[in-house]
């Protein structure tokens, strides 16, 4: 059931805060922005009891090989990441024309662009499969500025002014979006034009959108639309992910097209291959994944 729209008067404090913060971060050097983000994450950590509980539960389920102390340290590092991500997202609200484009070009690099070009050369479009690792908004922005015409599947935000502000910033760098639940027409138009569509497949997806797939050793409902969509359109499936390095550079890594010719008729098999890819990314950069998301809603507590 969709949430009712938030009245404008209720969101005025948020509007004022985001506008002021968006202007402030426009002049903030990256060398200061990063430690401020870590400081913000650490300051919020003691007060986020409910989300910390979810994160602790997820870490215990997914990384049982770690000790309790190691998982606690990882969750604190995860909150450092949220703080830095918060500052990065604030740049979407900068009132300075062209700022988000300049900021994205300044702090991001694209690796594996040749893999997208090779997949796009088939002429059937490209489906990017990704997850909420690193900065997924910058993934769309950096890719668009590198010449990738992509439509990402995402949610319509509430209140409406927030949605329009985010959409305007995305469009300012050439990143397009299709908003749930009516995403299929926009996705089909993009693929038929030989363009790209992007899906994040790491969040909980209830049936019928999701099917039980092994993720970190347990079966959990996972979005399975990518395989059937690729089979229907002939589009290539290309994994792509972002992560932030120790210098604060956000890397968009585009991997080679997946060879799924023998698996496209089996949505469960395709989804499992993609879930395994996401798990490998998370294991490589565990501090930058969305551990506080209720990924295992269909399972009892650990």
Condensed to tens digits (0 to 9), the pLDDT of residues 61-77 reads 999 999 999 999 999 99
Q: Convert the pLDDT of each residue in 243-256 to its tens digit.
A: 999 999 999 999 99
How would residue 31 be classed by pLDDT, with cut points 50, 70 and 90?
A: very high
Residue 202 sits at the vertex; the CA angle it makes with 196 and 206, to the nearest 5 degrees, is 105
Distance (Å, whole) CA 104 – CA 145: 9
Q: Is residue 124 within a helix (H) or strand (E), and if so which, with residue range? A: none
Q: What is the pLDDT of residue 250?
A: 98
43 or 264: which carries more pLDDT confidence? 43
Report the distance separating Cα 144 and Cα 124, nearest Å: 19
pLDDT at 8: 62
Give the integer Cα–Cα distance in Å for 87 and 83.
7
Long-range CB contacts for residues 202-210, cutoff 8 Å, separation at least 24: 202/131, 202/132, 202/133, 202/278, 202/282, 202/289, 202/290, 202/295, 203/132, 203/290, 203/293, 203/295, 204/293, 204/294, 204/295, 204/296, 204/297, 204/298, 206/297, 206/298
pLDDT score for 3: 61
The Cα–Cα gap between 167 and 119 comes to 27
Residue in this structure with the two tokens 């918060």, named with its chain if needed:
86
> Highest mean pLDDT range out of 10-14, 113-117, 162-166?
113-117
pLDDT reported for residue 9:
62
> Distance between CA 97 and CA 30 in Å, rounded?
19
pLDDT at 1 over 60: no
CA distances from 128 to 111, 115, 170, 190 (A): 14, 11, 17, 12
Say whether pLDDT at 234 is over 90: yes
CA distance 279 to 286: 10
Tell me, what's the pLDDT at 137? 97
- Asked whether residue 5 carries a pLDDT value surpassing 70, the answer given is no
Residue with tokens 């305007």: 168
Q: What is the pLDDT of residue 2?
A: 53
Percent of the chain beyond pLDDT 90? 89
pLDDT of residue 158: 87
Lowest-pLDDT choice from 6-10, 87-91, 108-112: 6-10
Q: Is the pLDDT score of 218 beyond 60?
A: yes
Give the 3-state secondary structure of residue 32: helix
185: confidence class by pLDDT, cuts 50, 70, 90: very high
| Identity of the highest mean pLDDT range in 156-165, 175-184, 189-198 | 189-198
């Amino acid at each position: 059931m969709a949430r009712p729209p938030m009245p404008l008067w209720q969101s005025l404090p948020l509007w004022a805060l985001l506008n002021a913060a968006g202007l402030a971060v426009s002049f903030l050097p990256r060398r200061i922005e990063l430690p401020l983000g870590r400081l913000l994450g650490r300051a919020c950590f003691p007060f986020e009891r409910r989300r910390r509980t979810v994160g602790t539960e997820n870490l215990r389920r997914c990384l049982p090989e770690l000790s309790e102390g190691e998982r606690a340290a990882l969750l604190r590092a995860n909150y450092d990441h949220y703080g830095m991500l918060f500052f990065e997202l604030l740049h979407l609200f900068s009132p300075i024309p062209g700022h988000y484009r300049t900021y994205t070009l300044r702090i991001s690099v694209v690796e594996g662009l040749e893999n997208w070009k090779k997949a796009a050369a088939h002429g059937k479009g490209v489906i990017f499969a990704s997850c909420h690792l690193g900065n997924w908004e910058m993934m769309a922005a950096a890719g668009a500025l590198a010449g990738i015409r992509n439509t990402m599947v995402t949610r319509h935000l509430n209140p409406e002014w927030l949605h329009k502000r985010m959409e305007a910033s995305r469009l300012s760098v050439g990143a397009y979006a299709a908003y749930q639940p009516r995403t299929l027409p926009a996705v089909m138009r993009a693929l038929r034009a030989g363009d790209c569509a992007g899906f994040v497949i790491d969040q909980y997806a209830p049936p019928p959108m999701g099917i039980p797939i092994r993720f970190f050793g347990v079966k959990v409902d996972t979005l399975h639309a990518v395989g059937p969509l690729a089979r229907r359109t002939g589009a290539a499936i290309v994994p792509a992910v972002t992560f932030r390095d120790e210098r604060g550079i956000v890397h968009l890594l585009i991997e080679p097209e997946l060879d799924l010719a023998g698996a496209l008729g089996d949505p469960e098999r395709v989804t499992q291959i993609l879930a395994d890819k996401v798990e490998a990314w998370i294991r490589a950069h565990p501090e930058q994944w969305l551990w506080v998301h209720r990924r295992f809603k269909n399972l009892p507590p650990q």
